Each structure stands twice: as C-alpha cells, then as structure tokens.
C-alpha cells in the first residue's frame, strides 16, 4: 500500500482525472478509436493517509480511473507496477469492485521501462493503427530512462509524466560539481544527454586569482531545479510536438519537488492541460 504524499498528491490526481474526463468527452463520438489507459506506476489502488493521528485509506488514481464510465470508458486498462504486493492488491481490487472490467484490465508486475518499450512496439504495428493511448507515468524517483520516452516518438499517445526535478535531479548535482561517475551515468540515462552537456548546463566555471596563481572554481547554477524542469521540457519537445506548462509541486517550505507535464502530438491536448493546470494553480 502506498503512502500519501501530501497536498500535491491530491492536485496531481485531480489534474489527471479532469484531463481524462475531457479526453473521453472528445472521444465519446469517435468509437472507431480503441482507447488504452496505461499506468506505468499503478500502485495498489489505494493510498494510506494519516490525519489527526488516524490512518485512512483513500482512493488511488487507478481506482478513480476505473470508476469512469461516462462519457465513455477506456477499452483497455493496462496497469504496471514493479512491486509485486501492489499488483496483487490492485488485481484483487479490480476483481471485487470492478468485475465488469476484469476482461479489459491487465495488471502486470514489470518494470515500466520494459512495458513502455512493449507499448511502442504494439502501436507501431499497422494492424493496431486504430489504438490511442493515454498514459500516466508517475515514478517516485528517476526510474524512467530517457530511451523509454524516445520510443514513443510519433505515436498516438498523450502522456502525463511526473519529473523529480527537486527530489531526483537536483540531489545528484553536488554544489561543487564533484559528481561521481555513477551519478553522472544516472543523470545521463534519465535526461538522455551526454555527461559533459549536463555538467556545462548546470555548472559554471570562473577563474579567480589567489596568492599562488589563478584557480578555477566550479559552482552550481542558481535555480538548478527550475533549469532541470526547463531542460526536461525541451527534451520532451524533441519527442512530442506539444508539451504543457508544468504543474510545479512544492513541499510545505516552498521547495520544488516535481514538475508535472502533459506531452502530446495534439495541440488541443496541450490547451486542455494548460487550462486545467492554470485553474488548479490558482485554486492552490
């Protein structure tokens, strides 16, 4: 069972649900499309929340998505999670609460990267040209490799993706630039950029005079988290024609944890996402 992540967890779920309903409203009269909902980190279907010292169970995004039947439902639900306990809980929930969708819902105990690769191969087959996908990629860290995102180029998919700019990327960027090779490799896999480019993007060098001659000092750029968000968005734009403005998630002290984007090849999708994000940001 997953733990509640704070107010931003509610905002994230609200954004996705509002978008899903708008998406299905558009698709309700286009029944020639087979619609797939793909969740790469589906969890157990429930989230544990502590309130006033009491533990409560609230519905997770998978449960909320399965409840939507109007204006139309998805034709296929594909839930992926690497944690076996989560997949067992979610499968049991579907069997008990959504028996009418048992034959449409697939729960897979697998790595999201592998299933994104499988999804891309599925969509590339000519016989599957009437499938559209709405994907929700919600990692708790830097588990999604950029090569997995690259495989989606040109495919009929709208993708919401949570990017751990503060909790992930920024934590690997040591202030003095002394980043281990393993951390640089992690950044390379996550961002899809060469290691030297990453260093040059996030750090600046300056030469200072000292008693014993000039010395080169390396410092991390200010606003590295914001720059990470801008960088990931520019990377997404290499794969998708349209990327929304980010919904920026912060903790109680105002530090940015995540950037949340919608990536699509449809301008209307971007417009809808931007409108939802703007309204929720104002409400917050």
Check whether 70 has a pLDDT greater than 70. Answer: yes
Residue 181 token pair: 């090779």
Do 160 and 262 contact (CB within 8 A), yes or no?
yes
Within-domain flag for 212: no
Domain span including residue 270: 2-166+222-283
pLDDT digits (tens, 9 = 90+) for 193-223: 999 999 999 998 765 666 565 565 567 888 9
Q: What is the pLDDT of residues 233-280, one digit of tens each?
A: 999 999 999 999 999 999 888 899 999 999 999 999 999 999 999 998
Structurally, the chain folds into a number of domains equal to 1
**What's the mean pLDDT when you consider all of the chain?**
90
List the structure tokens of 216.
């080169």
Q: What totals of helices (H) and strands (E) does the chain contain, helices first?
A: 10, 13
Q: State how far the Cα of 1 lies from the Cα of 85, in Å rounded to an integer.
A: 8
CATH of the domain at 39: 3.40.50.150
Q: Would 186 be classed as within a structural domain?
A: no
Asked if residue 3 has pLDDT above 50, the reply is: no
- What is the per-residue pLDDT across 34-64, written as a single tens digit (0 to 9) for each? 999 999 999 998 775 555 555 456 788 999 9
């Amino acid at each position: 069972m997953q733990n509640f992540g704070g107010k931003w967890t509610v905002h994230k779920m609200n954004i996705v649900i509002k978008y899903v309903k708008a998406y299905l409203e558009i698709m309700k009269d286009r029944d020639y499309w087979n619609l797939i909902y793909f969740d790469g980190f589906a969890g157990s279907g429930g989230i544990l929340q502590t309130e006033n010292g009491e533990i409560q169970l609230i519905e997770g995004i998978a449960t909320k998505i399965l409840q939507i039947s109007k204006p139309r439902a998805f034709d296929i639900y594909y839930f992926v999670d690497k944690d076996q306990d989560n997949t067992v809980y979610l499968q049991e929930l579907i069997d008990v609460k959504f028996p009418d969708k048992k034959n449409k819902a697939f729960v897979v105990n697998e790595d999201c990267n592998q299933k994104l690769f499988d999804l891309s191969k599925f969509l590339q087959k000519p016989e599957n040209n009437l499938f559209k996908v709405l994907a929700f990629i919600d990692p708790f860290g830097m588990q999604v490799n950029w090569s997995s995102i690259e495989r989606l180029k040109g495919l009929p998919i709208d993708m919401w993706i949570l990017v751990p700019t503060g909790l992930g990327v920024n934590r690997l960027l040591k202030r003095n630039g002394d980043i281990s090779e393993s951390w640089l490799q992690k950044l390379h896999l996550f961002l899809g950029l060469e290691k030297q480019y990453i260093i040059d993007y996030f750090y600046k060098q300056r030469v200072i005079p000292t008693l014993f001659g000039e010395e080169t000092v390396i410092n991390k750029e200010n606003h590295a988290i914001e720059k990470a968000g801008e960088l990931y968005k520019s990377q997404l734009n290499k794969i998708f024609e349209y990327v929304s403005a980010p919904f920026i998630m912060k903790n109680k002290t105002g530090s940015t944890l995540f950037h949340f984007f919608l990536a699509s090849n449809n301008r209307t999708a971007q417009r809808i996402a931007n409108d939802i994000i703007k309204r929720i940001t104002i409400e917050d």
